[in-house]
Structure 1
Amino acid sequence: MIPRLRLVLALLLPIAAGSLQWLLWENWIKPYVWFLFFPVAFFSAWLGGLAGGIGSTLISALMVWYVFIPPPFSFTLPNPTAVFSIIVFIGMGCLFSWFHEKLRRALSSSEGRFEATFEQAAVGIALVALDGRFLRVNHRLSTIVGYAPEELMARTFHDITHPDDLDADLAYVRRVLAGEIDTFTMEKRYFRKDGSIVWVNLTVSLARKASGAPDYFIAVIENISDRKLAERRFRQLFEQAPVALATSDRDGNLLLINDAFIDLFGYHIEEIPTIADWRTRVLPDAGQHTAAEQDWSSKWPAEQPAELVEQSVLCRDGSRKTVLLSRLRLADEMMLAATDISQRKAAETRLRERNAELERFDRASIDRELQMIVLKRQVNEMARELGREPPYDLSFADTLPP
């Protein structure tokens, strides 16, 4: 109601009460002069606030003084008790007015804070009827779904919810109405006005009447489309990565493994659901097992850069492979990456073997050459003793020992 109209009505209440009391005075109310005016002072304060309450109180006091306190139609007060009753009435009227003014200001301030919170919240907020109709929505929710507030309030949440998410949403709603849970949170999809899909995180609670009966739902909606897009991209990269990848939580439960991991080790996540199972299956050597456990535990106290560790692992088919393992903490998860370097290690081994063979061959060849030089020197000496010219030119070997 308009404040000025409330003030006018508050000031008219004493006149209406005075008229009614005058009609009932002789047969019903006399001599209770304040019978109708105490309620008038209270309701005038509630209706018109401080100004309306005090104005109504003063009008009521003058009317009772002039009309109903003997002698009637006179401002004479021969009885001190009448003076006291007027003072008490005015005091009570002013007290009513002060109390209601304080209450009105507190309520106005509370409503103002609620309005500011509701409209300026960084998340979407909606009040939803029990049948799913939007009763009130804020600007952020309108932005998320692309509908103007009045357009949205002409719809129900069923109308904009993706069909694949509706059954789960309604199941939660039924549980809340049945008193099984107080609130619920779920990720779901809404259809925007332009037909596109937006992912949201929905949190719903139930407001009840004073009697305890369900009244309406309070829904908080957060746009998580960017996060879902990032998760989808991560999932695609994770699943299609050529490197074997696995993630685990703090308790050591494996959360995800990709196809490359399965191809490398031969195990599915159902067969190795925990890090402990992983160590038992693929790191059967006691020393490897202990070192891997200590390394995994040491990563949790603080963020550490990824380190590459070369390990010999046992695969599901019984074969041994050499892999490079890297463990990296990501928030509350640990990521394990493994790269098969068995072929490279085998190639390195073959290369070392070939180099060793070449070295042995080179040493044997040099020994033969040295032996030939010694024999040629002996032949040259024998030729000189016979007075002949030495048949072999060994000037290139003059620096070699005899």
Structure 2
Amino acid sequence: MRHTSHTTESILESIAEAYVSVDWDWRILHVNHEAERFLDKPLEDLLGKSLWDVYPDLVGTNAYYEYHRAMADRSAITLEEHSPRRGIWLELRGYPTEEGLAVYFRDISDRKHVEQALEESEERFRATFEEAALGIGHVAPDGRWLRVNQRLCDILGYTRDELFLRTNQSMSHPDDLHEELDLLSHLLAGDLSTYSIAKRYIHKNGAAVWVDVTMSVVTPRSGASRYLLAFVEDITGRRAAEEQLRQQFVLTRSLTDSTTEALFMMDTAGRVTFLNPAAEQLVGWDASTLVGKVLHDTVHYLKPDGTRNAMLESPLTAVFTTGTGVRNHEDTFIRRDGTFVPVLCANAPIIDPSGMIMGAVLAVHDNTERKRAEQAVRESEERYRHIVDTTFEGVWSYDEHSITTYVNGRLAEMLGYSPDEMLGRSIYDFVFDHDLALAREQFTERLDGSKDKVEARLRRKDGSALYYLSSASALSDSGGRRIVTAMISDITALKRAQSDLERAYDREHRISETLQRSLLIMPPRDGFRGLTIESLYEAAWEEAQVGGDFCDAFSVAGGKIALILGDVAGKGLAAAARTAEIKFTLRAFMRDTTSPSLAAARLNEFVCEAQTLPEQSDDMIVGLTLAVFDPKTGALEITVCGAEPPLILRASGPSEEAPASGLPIGAISGAEYDQITMQLNIGDTLLMVTDGITEARRDNVFFGYEGMIRLAAQARSFPALGQIARAILGGAQNFAGGRLQDDACLLLARRTMYVG
């Protein structure tokens, strides 16, 4: 028995594990050397002692309860426990014995560290796999998805479970599948270690998703089946950007080819690397010849005076060294044929991402027309200055602060000052105190762009009144200041005689009433197919209709319709007689031609010749508007002779002023007249008025053409032409205080239908 016990102890001492046994009362019976090393106590402090008395810190631990369970159930236990006291991990195995319980334990810290490292590695792999910006998938050789990350699900629009039911091939775009299957076969055969392909997958929503796929074969060391590792990058946005860049390139090339500005690109040596068609046309060199040449040595080496133009001294080449371009640089280039061309240049450096100057781009504008225009402006300004200084009218310029900036000699003479005495003074220094409020109102309106004629008075140096009539326009100078320039006509003598003239006019007006009425036979309202006509005449004086205003409408050759509105200068019997002569002579002329400009020219010669006859007491001047309308096409040919331009009230859209003008009939023999063509659409209305409307006056302010346009815009929605005519006439009368200063005539024509 003693031999057996000795043998047992020898065995327990020889094993690598620590061994401790306890009896049924938990007293320690055996401790081998390995256990003694772990327990850090001598044998005499252990043997025979209660395990829980020696190590009270074990009470309540997992090991404590497991030992008791093993003792009670007589069952083996195995557990792993961390020892805070020693800072190590232990593997504990307990086995029931006849004496009580045998416990084997060993240090497994190294294994636990390896396991922890492996677990952390697995966690890092899972995190890398799941949180990667790329889609990642494991694919079976037959194309089944084995494992996918969330990014791949997001790219394709499917959940993991949905992808596991699909294959890589079934989700590929049919047009891309053949190429990928060919690469896949070479990869699986070992001919390729990896491949990359730009392809399209079909998203769950049916849309094509562009991706870059990199595929490689993975053969696990464990001997498990090999699989394919797929990295999938969504490049839909990049493809869209590339397409946008391609379109931008096409657009840029289109712009450079279509722009009228000459464009050159050069390297840092000044050699041409690109030029557009406009540049070829400017210098006379084609791109195939000029590319590679130094631009300066080809088109910029000489000055117009024949001296050499050194490249290093040219402002255009400084950009290569300083990186600073020029703008609005005036220079001269030499064409291939040796002629000089004035140019306006701007250039800028081409800089790479590192900040290095790679070259420059040069934009060149042919400055020939501008130079000619500048010369013409200088000549025009000289002529203007001469005219202004010698004109019979006064010229007055003042700025936005009412300070006089220029007066001509005539204006200074009108007011009794020298020009120097007026310069720098406020215009209000020459206004009577009673007129200051009105003067300030007129000043504001002119700054805002009003061109209405103004009649008022100024205070001369001697305190007397100068009555004047003026028109003005406001422009901005090069410094941005608003400058008003007014033309001043002295009407003092006219004002004195005005009362007598009005009385004389009234007498003559009454005498010629009967003749005037005979001339005012208005055109028929519905006498022309496809066109409705309305006319309205209003005499300046209520008691008679005497004046030179008239309108007419009649058919001419080709089914066309002539529309005439005229104003013969003068009043009374003479004006009425002239009106009749003009009206019926024009009818006769337009039987021979339907061209309004030719008819106007012929009528002008007729009137000019009539003025040379002995019985002609004074000049006959006629303001006239001729319009010939083709009801088949809607074309409207218009000639204006010293009259207000017609206005077309569009059925839809803004009103449109006819851009026509010309000299009055009878002004100059041999005058030529232009005609313009406009389109009168269904529902559009042609409006023609005499100056009795636009020159309606309130105090010293004229109603103006702009006032007539405003009234027409307000009234154009009226269904009847008569309503529009009366609204315009009534508005002018209201502006003038109920009475016009001149006779007024309106002619309106509305296109109502197509005429075949």
What TM-score bracket applies, with the shorter chain setting the length?
0.3 to 0.5
Q: When the two structures are superposed, what TM-score results if normalisation uses the length of structure 1? A: 0.48
Structure holding more strand per residue: 2
Which has the higher Rg, Structure 1 or Structure 2? 2
